[in-house]
Structure 1
């Protein structure tokens, strides 16, 4: 008897599983609120050099015209000012056929020697406007780098939590993730320097990686095959809720320190909720911890109203299941590459996850140039994710996981490509394409979590998710830096985002289909071989069950 038969006895979908999904909703809400936080946290408002000593008979516009050069597009410079020796004569003489700020010869300019003045109408403060930080102009790369460092932390955390949760359990490591995220989030909000902020945000990303790696498998390992899809899509809607909630919280809280506190403090009720979150009985059996698994299985049966007595789940019966699934040695990342089929799956999944993350965060963090303010854009980007969930739910059930993954990535690439062909004058078309691209990108993300969780066996599921998420977060960390390439060519970032998404779509077609497939429990199940020691033996097909 395998674990699927045990789950069928106690109920593979019922109040127990629904409670589990509800308890694990909070991490899914907190993830986008932290991952997309730079939209508000690192926003750069309109700014110009500090220009002290404006005469009383000069208006603000005249004073700026007299002291600030113009960029090639005709706007006043945000990063330079005329030298006083050239600008001040024009403020007093002004006339004789010259407009304010117009100088004879080639005027000399200097970077803002006394700092910047910022427009506080939209944000009262961001890390870019923080006193003595001034992450604008020559320092704008440091502003973008905060997102990169954060995702590097997520990348490292994906490795650590994937490996450790396979060794020490999902529930225990989820507690570590909650506590670490709370502590580092509070430290970030109290940062007194840019260096301190970068370090604490990087460590926050490391902690939050635990949410990305643990939550989905902890849900799926309590679900039967027939309800994995609906539960996966349902739980992913909490991410969308977090995206939309971030727009509201960002609108209500305009100071970056208080905003950071607002997205950190919900970790406290999350820690308390772990009292009711069950450990994975499937994982416990693979570790030979039969008594603990039995206790959770009985609890599941009682809550689901299944008439299962304690004798029906005897220690002897569970010991036989555990003996068949027990891990002979601890899992490692090398196990993902030792055998041919797992190696193929791992390499393809890494490319898919890189493309999904790279294009998703490239689209999500670019909320400018759409004719809407940042709050409206964020809300619209969140709202479009809801129909994308419906698209995923319908598609994975009828077209399968593989075609859904490839199709959504292809849709992302095409919308990015079409945006390059639409002129800036057609603002509504550009906005519509951006929203469609965001929807396809979110659909690809939703499918990737579900698809990858089903490809790896139980004994390596967390490790496999950790490896693929590692590569995915590498894509997420590079996405903000790729946006800086607009200084080389304005369309280059979108071209790169779309090209990577297209490559990932082609790679997804190389993966095996998992629709109607029983979750693999051992490496042998994935390889389809009677013995791992004989890699040349003929492969056997994976066991199939009806959806």
Structure 2
């Protein structure tokens, strides 16, 4: 007996599954608000050297504020004061002729900076003067946050498979709330960076658990629907972030605003069910039966306990190795698992670095950053609805490869389009952003279907680690523009195309039963878990050709 047969008895897609998706919506909305938060809290507003220390002594007392600025700070070609330099000495001759200011000696700002607060009341840059020779520290906070996400992926991947999805989900909620709010009160850059690392660590558990819980409770035919529709909460949160940032201009208040919804998630946690697949895989038959009965009741089906005894559930095939402790080492112990692990790692790295490489670079299209971010977020909705249709028509593998390759093509086009043609660059960039989000939506669903139940969380944890490695590197790639302006886009384009080609080497999982054990992956292809015809009794026809030992389990 397969778990899919059990799920059919209690209805694999009914009110129970819809309620589960709704309960997981709030934490999913919070995720993009934190993952893309640095776009706004680490923004660098226009600034110039602070010349107030020059005081009112000498000739300065007779000069207007504009004249003081003219003789103290050089101007760029566009007439805007330089951001990081001032004259070594006041140049009073510039009051009559400023055309030769470029040849005059300059020094770095001596007394700090004056910031334009018309867009932001306060950001990390204005709080700790992360400008000029320290400007890379604003990008570093993003990298540090995603290093926390990377470490969390490894930790929660192990903890979720060992202690269950539900318990670790609560731990993720609490950690994210505590460290999220704490980072809003940090009084130094180092403390803030450390707290953001821990916030990212906690948020990872929400990502992993919400995806896997949704997929493991739904039948085969509706997995793509659950995976895609559930991810719309990410897009909703992404659009809300633009609104929150527009209304809340102080970075500390903004962090508290986007963290607060997790308090509601904690209140609804008690109604979230544990994964029956995980419970059966770990020999917790009575608890699995409790949740399956609950599912049947909400879906208005006959209780499972009236049809099957606990001894019958104990023979579900996913219990074949329930007494074995699985670790990350099992991802590379056998040949096909090694291959699967290598390929999914490359694809995740490419998907994540491409998505965030585009998302974190939202300037240059003739629109303000709030509107640009909102458009980038809004395009994700039709992209996800589109990919839902194509997932069921073309399959997972072709969708994964196609979205990545087309994203790379969009980036390549914008490399050659002049920056002055922003009305051409903007639509191409928005299309690329939508395609990159479609690839991200696909990879979550695809990876969940590729890994067997006994190490699904470990597999997703590893894949998420590789993805967050790509995310952590993305802000640093954007710094390469100081070396050569097109270089960041060339790197991101290359990564997208290479990872798209690698995804073509993965097996197709459309309409396939979820693999339960490592043996399901390692079996010869003709016996591999796939979409086999099923008799009215619910027993797969393929099972008639299994070994004697497997036949005894089915009986």
Normalised to the residue count of structure 1, the TM-score between the two structures is 0.94
Distance of 1:325 and 1:207 partners within structure 2: 32
What is the CA-CA distance between 1:460 and the residue it aligns to?
0.8
Q: Deviations over 1:57-84 (max 9, x none)?
A: 6555544333222447764310111112
Aligned with 1:515: secondary structure? coil
Distance of 1:412 and 1:70 partners within structure 2: 39
**Does 2:200 match 1:195?**
no
What is the CA-CA distance between 1:428 and the residue it aligns to?
0.6
What is the CA-CA distance between 1:426 and the residue it aligns to?
0.7
Which residue does 1:4 correspond to in 2? 4
Equivalent position to 1:280, from 275, 280, 284:
275
What is the CA-CA distance between 1:204 and the residue it aligns to?
0.4
What is the CA-CA distance between 1:141 and the residue it aligns to?
1.0
Which residue does 1:69 correspond to in 2? 74
Aligned with 1:431: secondary structure? helix
Larger mean CA deviation between 512-521 and 316-325 belongs to 316-325
Aligned with 2:86: secondary structure? strand
Q: CA RMSD in A?
A: 1.8
Equivalent position to 1:542, from 498, 517, 529:
529
Q: Deviations over 1:24-73 (max 9, x none)?
A: 11121111000000011100000000022475765555443332224477
What is the CA-CA distance between 1:526 and the residue it aligns to?
1.3
Equivalent position to 2:216, from 212, 221, 236:
221
Task: Verify the 8 A CA contact 2:43 2:125 in the aligned structure 1.
Answer: yes
Distance of 2:356 and 2:483 partners within structure 1: 20
What is the CA-CA distance between 1:325 and the residue it aligns to?
3.7
Which residue does 2:227 correspond to in 1? 232
The within-5 A match list for 1:106-505 is: 106-130=103-127, 133-308=128-303, 310-321=305-316, 324-505=319-500
Distance of 2:66 and 2:81 partners within structure 1: 10
Distance of 1:293 and 1:82 partners within structure 2: 74
Distance of 1:344 and 1:74 partners within structure 2: 58
Distance of 1:454 and 1:61 partners within structure 2: 65
What is the CA-CA distance between 1:311 and the residue it aligns to?
2.4
Evaluate the alpha carbon distance shift between residue 62 and residue 276 of structure 1 in structure 2; reply closer, same or farther with a 3 A threshold.
Answer: same
Which residue does 1:27 correspond to in 2? 27
Distance of 2:315 and 2:340 partners within structure 1: 30
Aligned with 1:338: secondary structure? coil
Distance of 1:459 and 1:164 partners within structure 2: 13
Distance of 1:217 and 1:354 partners within structure 2: 20
Task: Verify the 8 A CA contact 1:281 1:296 in the aligned structure 2.
Answer: yes
Distance of 2:25 and 2:37 partners within structure 1: 19
Which residue does 1:535 correspond to in 2? none
Distance of 2:412 and 2:312 partners within structure 1: 57
Evaluate the alpha carbon distance shift between residue 253 and residue 106 of structure 1 in structure 2; reply closer, same or farther with a 3 A threshold.
Answer: same
What is the CA-CA distance between 1:396 and the residue it aligns to?
0.7
Task: Verify the 8 A CA contact 1:42 1:126 in the aligned structure 2.
Answer: yes
Task: Verify the 8 A CA contact 1:294 1:313 in the aligned structure 2.
Answer: no
Distance of 2:103 and 2:423 partners within structure 1: 40
What is the CA-CA distance between 1:496 and the residue it aligns to?
0.6
Task: Verify the 8 A CA contact 2:228 2:441 in the aligned structure 1.
Answer: yes
What is the CA-CA distance between 1:214 and the residue it aligns to?
1.2
Aligned with 2:315: secondary structure? helix
Aligned with 1:524: secondary structure? helix
What is the CA-CA distance between 1:374 and the residue it aligns to?
1.0
Task: Verify the 8 A CA contact 2:318 2:516 in the aligned structure 1.
Answer: no
Q: Deviations over 1:464-483 (max 9, x none)?
A: 00001101100000000111
Aligned with 2:301: secondary structure? coil
Query: Gapped runs of 5+ residues in structure 2?
Result: 535-555
Which residue does 2:98 correspond to in 1? 99
Which residue does 1:78 correspond to in 2? 83
What is the CA-CA distance between 1:545 and the residue it aligns to?
4.2
Task: Verify the 8 A CA contact 1:288 1:322 in the aligned structure 2.
Answer: no
Q: Deviations over 1:504-534 (max 9, x none)?
A: 00000000000011111111111125xxxxx
Aligned with 1:117: secondary structure? strand
Aligned with 2:510: secondary structure? coil
Query: Gapped runs of 5+ residues in structure 1?
Result: 530-537
Task: Verify the 8 A CA contact 2:318 2:517 in the aligned structure 1.
Answer: no
Q: Deviations over 1:330-371 (max 9, x none)?
A: 111110111111111111100000001101111001111111
Normalised to the residue count of structure 2, the TM-score between the two structures is 0.92
Evaluate the alpha carbon distance shift between residue 23 and residue 325 of structure 1 in structure 2; reply closer, same or farther with a 3 A threshold.
Answer: farther
Distance of 2:311 and 2:324 partners within structure 1: 23
Distance of 2:385 and 2:436 partners within structure 1: 14
Distance of 2:323 and 2:286 partners within structure 1: 19
